[in-house]
Amino acid sequence: MTGRIAFQGEPGAYSHQACAEARPRLEALPCKTFEDTIDAVRRGDADLAMLPVENSTYGRVADIHRILPESGLHIVDEAFVRVHINLLGVPGAKLTDVRHAMSHTVLLGQCRDFLRQNQIDPMTGADTAGSARIVARDGDRSIGALASELAGEIYGLDVLARHIEDHDTNTTRFLLMARDPDLRRRGPAGMMTSFVFRVRNIPAALYKALGGFATNGVNMTKLESYMVGAEFTATQFYADIEGHPDDRNVQLAMEELDYFTTHMTLLGVYPADPKRR
């Protein structure tokens, strides 16, 4: 497959790393925002969008679940990417020279222990690769960047400390999205189905809506709620389940869900990443 894959951030961002690992034959297209990333696919400037949805240490990526249902795109794959955080410095700098570390807020939160132990103050940057670019541009030995080794290679920085994340299982889950859905059964690790729904305004509606998944043996791996619109009563739920919509037990569970919801939108059917296991 040839083409382009869009990601949010500057060259060297972890989303760029995810593109290189999951779709190495595609040209990576950097975009300023998540919305720009999605628009690049909608316009046809890219074939796929690589979007981070959650990190095993930091949790959900802010606002991403609001963007997905409105994107007009479909989830066609997922990728679990091991996030190794490195302290990058200008050539010749040493770890003891660094007094401030710049990066995205999410990354700063993933290596608090290292920063505290080395008496390094966190500095919020727009993103990881952008912070590396600024550190390289300014040439100040007292300021480092928390980013990927790829960012260090791109911007000519030295790795002063490698793999400094607080947890050695630090992983980010990405979703690959396309203009058209792909409902084929594929992949060695089974299928996943993602959707959003709103429940009817009746007592125990959520409990009743989810009952069908339990009674039909469908494993729900994620359920998250968030407010929509300007009303506190309008709650939308995002869910991931194991299985394909054509599986009989999934069909029965979705039929029961439909009875207790005001609407349901299928976001995608895609192969589970083997790393999920």
> What is the C-alpha to C-alpha distance for residues 153 and 91, in angstroms, rounded to an integer?
12
DSSP state of 40: H
8 Å CB contact between 200 and 262: yes
| Burial class (CB within 10 angstroms; exposed 0-12, middle 13-18, buried 19+) of 101 | buried
Catalytic residues: 172, 174
Residue 41 pairs with which residues in a beta bridge?
A: none
> What is the C-alpha to C-alpha distance for residues 208 and 261, in angstroms, rounded to an integer?
10
Question: What does residue 3 show for φ and ψ, rounded to 5 degrees?
Answer: 150, -155
| CA separation, residue 232 to residues 116, 216, 223 (Å) | 39, 32, 19
Beta strands in the chain (DSSP E): 4-8, 27-31, 48-55, 59-60, 74-82, 86-89, 100-103, 121-124, 143-147, 158-161, 171-178, 191-199, 220-227, 235-242, 261-271
Lookup: tokens for 1: 């497959």
